[in-house]
Amino acid sequence: LFILGALLLWANDAYISYSSNELIFNNTHDIPKSEYALLLGTPKYLPSGNVNNYYKNRIKSAVALCSKGKINKLIISADTLNKYKENEVELIKSDLLQSGIDESSLILDKNGNRTWKSITNLKGNDSLNNIILVSQKFHLERALYIAKKENIHAIGFIAKGEMSNRLWIREILARVKMQIDLIMN
């Protein structure tokens, strides 16, 4: 049973990664233009008090898309009160403004407390159906898989950041939870 369970976890992980690879871009030159991008949130600060590198790199990637003219509007979808007592949406907005992004190009989604919610919040708005998602590759794979299953046309733009072993385990479990969410709608 243990081997079968491990095999199923691996197969689910591999399938999700494989199914989204062609939708992920890693430089601004190759990615097609889109009216909108969705910046997926993450806590700015680690429990140690240091700034989260995933956060910094998502901000840099979003700024790069804006400065290269690849997007016109940027949706910030994040948790407004996570376990670290941060309002991620406001922190991201503040850092984007400090990076020179015009406030009129920002749209705040304060209901993005999970990746699932950030993606499904796009449903029902046809103008958001052609969108660039911004996050690290491992996170983009899951987000794009959700978008595909929800009939949302999306591509991904990679923010730098490698996955640690601890985060890999979390991502494996998040992908299982995502499959349960899809089955239970």
Over the stretch 129-176, which tens digit does the pLDDT of each residue have? 789 999 999 999 999 999 999 999 999 999 998 888 788 888 899 999
Q: Which of 119, 127, 104 is nearest to 34 (CA)?
A: 127
Tokens in use for 22? 């062609």
Over the stretch 43-91, which tens digit does the pLDDT of each residue have? 998 889 899 999 999 999 999 999 999 999 999 998 876 666 678 899 9
Cα–Cα distance, 147 to 75 (Å, whole number): 15
pTM of model > 0.95 = no
Total count of residues recorded for the chain: 185
Looking up tokens 């595909």 gives: 148
